[in-house]
Structure 1
């Protein structure tokens, strides 16, 4: 054995181990640079380890840690490395250490073989060896790789006899792969609930910890690895923390937390206690949970005049309203009233009907009466074109029964005659205290206005492209018509504007400009979106951009229904756009994964569809009996990859088994695993759990019930 400046070791034994490492590396075709990168060492240091030259290292404890980490990277048996290390320096023979509580430092280590100064020192050195190996082993950047590294530290610890953790106050239970609980520390403790109760008993003896509103606080009972990732998935904390230590973080919620040894640990976010034992990782002593789940932030709304239409408030911070339109012959009062009812049941908050003939105008009051008799107060909008002033004059009850008039300046009429017709309709609206939407369309733009603006553009020294002039003409037509309406006696808080086109980018450009030049509420929608997926995608693409910028106060999705399909589809699409963006809540949302090779069956897709349909059907009753239930979030996931995590984040979630997985489906309620379903009745049993959850949490006095409230008109 040679005596180097810093380390006493057998150089020949070191060279033998180095040769073994090099052989395994070259056989595995692993470049020395890859090893250096993994161990966070230089290539020169890796080369020195392979040559058995340790004199350049700070000490044998570090060298031994590097060698163990290197061997593990190459998947070499731990016992082989331990044998080599004993040959290199016999002083590092394995020792067994028992862990006991200490009133001062939290953990103390006692040699169970012999008492004496040298062995005690070597015990500390062996512990440092394990820690050093783990420290240099943990080098991956992502949160998943960080968790893999924790498993490596567990492997290092397992080369020694498992510490006999003293658990007077905490019971630790582990989950086996089949979902059954297995007691590992206290035979008399039967489940996690008992462990949580024991932990809570300890906490009751301590003063309550003070945690700020947006702060995460974690305290571990035992020396443990702790990893915390922020809302962006960035690992903001990753280290081995001492027993009894506390950590605090702010400003990065929701946090994804992983505690290596969860027994006895405590957590709190914003003043709300979290019990880590409830979120134990199956088959491990660790726990993983999300802290500080936050609601989606919504864009700041464009401030406007507010328009009252019956019981609805339009504009500024009032909710964006979903509107629809019938396709029945308005002269058929029974059919039109029935379709208005169907649209209302689907969630439409205003319905537009065509008023184009004397027969149609004569039936508007009857339609209103039929709806009132059925208990439907949905405001009706009269869609007038070409002859609106005549119909309002001949059928005054029509004007009174409607809640809003839609007037298109482009087809009221030309010149002085057109101005006269427009004036009559505006005065009628003012006399009846009705709101008016001045709706300009690309296809029916006032041609005299368009010609005037085109001529002026051609005479300009720097003429603009014709399409730009047409867009500007739309805006000018709407704004000039609004000015005329105000001059005729219609208050500003009775006017809504729209400028509809068919192309997505044109609509966005026009509404951005229109919104910047007035304070009127704006109605959004493409002139015609099209059929099926094309219409849905086009409407979503256009409206979501504007809504995200705070532009838009009412919306309509102008879908062309496929033959035989319900008219209500346009309402559902409009609602889902608003709810997906976090602007409104209409019906409980179902989160479902798209499926992959792990989910070759269609069980989870079928269950997701069944749940969504069930929730929509129930909403006709739940909306009035259980206020707030529209914000319920349900997750139906198809396999173990994202299933448990997404299910925990939902109010209620189920993680169905993927291909080759154990045929059980754990159900999570408010982030906690409550029950595991199996057999042929999973769907029915899960729907019953959802039903019970709604009745319990959204009933009178329920934890999640929201009081119905009226949004007051704000001063513009």
Structure 2
């Protein structure tokens, strides 16, 4: 893979594009007017590895608390603005590190001028967010619907509005729920501009469906070198989006965070509650940032051999388990109820050794 070289924008101390890694972001689903719940979710996202968080700013009540949220948050924040240019100004004044707007829908030329001047003054990037479900009517008529070509044309229009005002601190997204249309739209836009691209499949669906659609669509784009920041959109707790995002990046060799857990799919030889054990191991390791490989296998006969490249692993059988490192058995565990606690103790020893 060879990533396309794009320009760089900075959201606080987080660089996007250029030689920076592909960044992971998400969006709060809390009521922004509820400061406590919003800050709590932002910080849970940050703990999971989210590097920037977008917030909806629907009205003046939400805008009034943005400074409080900014003060208590540990990662750069992006304000999502539609229609009312004053909300964008409030976000900038509150210290938000990014705006997500479409210049064409925040008012007349004078209002666009005001927002762009303010963004330039604060050094705040603007993400132009094109969505296939809300394209301009004339483009829908011209292209016969929300086609990839129509989405790109919409994006180019908004880019031109910023460029003619001397503003170039731009990111771009072109989102639709169609995987194939999203891929084509980003390919087309990548050929036309060198601005960093934020990639995602919007309205992707619930946990499994959304993860699959995102993995296919974003995986193809990333493999082709397209994409500087991404969001996995799920109808779920936003924190789950971060884990899926990092697994996509890990599978392509682009980024790693936390342990990689491999586990067998179970078969007729399985004599333990392997699914439950694997899920509990995954949950227990959720806050660990070190990169290593953990295997959870259901067969003491083949488990260590099949997972011999794992840094540490466990294989369970009838009332007996074995813990191994790099395929070599280090000890045995009697009683299936002891498998998880004994394995976690061994993982803790392993991590302590690595940290010395």
Normalised by the length of structure 1, the TM-score is 0.47
Partner of 1:382 in structure 2?
A: 79
Give the alignment's Cα RMSD to 1 decimal: 2.1
Cα separation, 1, equivalents of 2:98 and 2:282: 34
Cα separation, 2, equivalents of 1:591 and 1:507: 30
SS at match of 1:569: helix
Cα separation, 2, equivalents of 1:359 and 1:500: 28
Partner of 1:668 in structure 2?
A: 324
Partner of 2:276 in structure 1?
A: 606
Query: Is contact 2:132–2:175 with CA below 8 Å preserved after alignment?
Result: yes
Query: Is contact 2:271–2:316 with CA below 8 Å preserved after alignment?
Result: no
Partner of 1:677 in structure 2?
A: 333
Partner of 1:574 in structure 2?
A: 245
Partner of 2:52 in structure 1?
A: 350
SS at match of 1:574: helix
What's the offset of the Cα at 1:540?
Answer: 1.7
Cα separation, 2, equivalents of 1:324 and 1:303: 23
What's the offset of the Cα at 1:310?
Answer: 1.3
Cα separation, 2, equivalents of 1:666 and 1:600: 13
SS at match of 1:542: helix
Using CA pairs under 8 Å that are at least 6 residues apart, name the structure with larger relative contact order, 1 or 2.
Answer: 2
Asked if 1:695 is matched to 2:355, the reply is: no
Cα separation, 1, equivalents of 2:150 and 2:93: 30
Q: Which is worse superposed, 680-689 or 358-367?
A: 680-689
Partner of 1:294 in structure 2?
A: none
Asked if 1:596 is matched to 2:274, the reply is: no
What's the offset of the Cα at 1:650?
Answer: 0.6
Partner of 1:525 in structure 2?
A: 200
Asked if 1:559 is matched to 2:261, the reply is: no
Cα separation, 2, equivalents of 1:572 and 1:421: 39
Cα separation, 2, equivalents of 1:599 and 1:426: 62
Q: Quick check: which has more Rg, 1 or 2?
A: 1
Cα separation, 2, equivalents of 1:381 and 1:367: 12
- From 311, 314, 319, the equivalent of 1:654 is 314
Partner of 1:437 in structure 2?
A: 127
Normalised by the length of structure 2, the TM-score is 0.92
Asked if 1:471 is matched to 2:148, the reply is: yes
What's the offset of the Cα at 1:640?
Answer: 4.5
Matches within 5 A, 1:393-404: 393=89, 395=90, 398-404=92-98
Query: Is contact 1:438–1:497 with CA below 8 Å preserved after alignment?
Result: yes
**Unaligned stretches of 5+ residues in structure 1:** 1-298, 455-465, 624-628, 703-716
Query: Is contact 1:301–1:317 with CA below 8 Å preserved after alignment?
Result: no
1:305-333 C-alpha deviation (Å, 9 max, x unpaired): 12221121111342211111112222222
Cα separation, 2, equivalents of 1:641 and 1:318: 44
Matches within 5 A, 1:26-175: none
Cα separation, 2, equivalents of 1:601 and 1:674: 20
Partner of 1:509 in structure 2?
A: 184
SS at match of 1:401: coil
Cα separation, 2, equivalents of 1:611 and 1:421: 53
Query: Is contact 2:299–2:315 with CA below 8 Å preserved after alignment?
Result: yes
Query: Is contact 1:557–1:571 with CA below 8 Å preserved after alignment?
Result: yes
Partner of 1:365 in structure 2?
A: 67
What's the offset of the Cα at 1:512?
Answer: 1.2
Asked if 1:616 is matched to 2:286, the reply is: yes
Partner of 1:300 in structure 2?
A: 2
SS at match of 2:26: strand
Cα separation, 1, equivalents of 2:134 and 2:272: 52
